Amino acid sequence: MAALWLAATAASAATHRVDDSGSQVMNPNVQMRWDANVPGARGRGVAGALEVALRLDVAAWRGRNGRIYMTLPASPSGPLQVAWTTQGRLLPGRLVSGERALVYAGPIGEDALRDRLRLDLQADGQRLDRAQTLTFSFEIDLDEP
């Protein structure tokens, strides 16, 4: 019976893309530097950082409860590891390209969620053969009312 209830609960969730076009990347051209401590890169790692003034337009879901995730598509040059800190509104965390990670859970009480994020990036430097555009995005899972 519990398994049936869990399946029904998961089926009632709806996922929507969140508009982050009001966000501003503070230093969009990240300079990656060699870093021997990157996991899985055996001395070939590179690391860099950037800051983002994040603005998520959640007006369409005001008054609802939801879980917001940051997503990053798989990278053609191998896994990109990202860890971030926030100034408190959103959750800090980490993800690997091709995954999504929770950044907010709870009631949506405003038209926009704002925070400042510092993202630390790590990759295998020998697999990065050219500049890449990172396409982070956000999505929200809602339970049906």
Tens of pLDDT, residues 41-94: 566 778 889 999 999 999 999 999 999 999 999 988 778 899 999 998 999 999
What type of residue is 27?
Answer: N
Q: What is the pTM of this model?
A: 0.83
CATH code (residue 44)? 2.60.120
Determine, yes or no, domain membership for 3.
no
Determine, yes or no, domain membership for 57.
yes
Q: Dihedral sign for Cα 130, 134, 93, 50, please.
A: positive
What type of residue is 36?
Answer: A
pLDDT value of position 95? 95
Residue span of the structural domain in which 30 resides: 13-143
| Count of domains forming the chain | 1
Determine, yes or no, domain membership for 70.
yes
Q: Tell me the average pLDDT of the chain.
A: 84
CA angle 107, 110, 116 (to 5 degrees): 95
8 A C-beta contact, residue 50 and residue 120 = no
What type of residue is 107?
Answer: P
Determine, yes or no, domain membership for 2.
no
Confidence of residue 98 (pLDDT cuts 50, 70, 90): very high
Q: Please give the full DSSP string across 26-77, using - where no structure is assigned.
A: SS-S---EE-TT-TTSTT-EEEEEEEEEEEEE-GGGTTSEEEEEEE-PPPTT
pLDDT value of position 37? 65
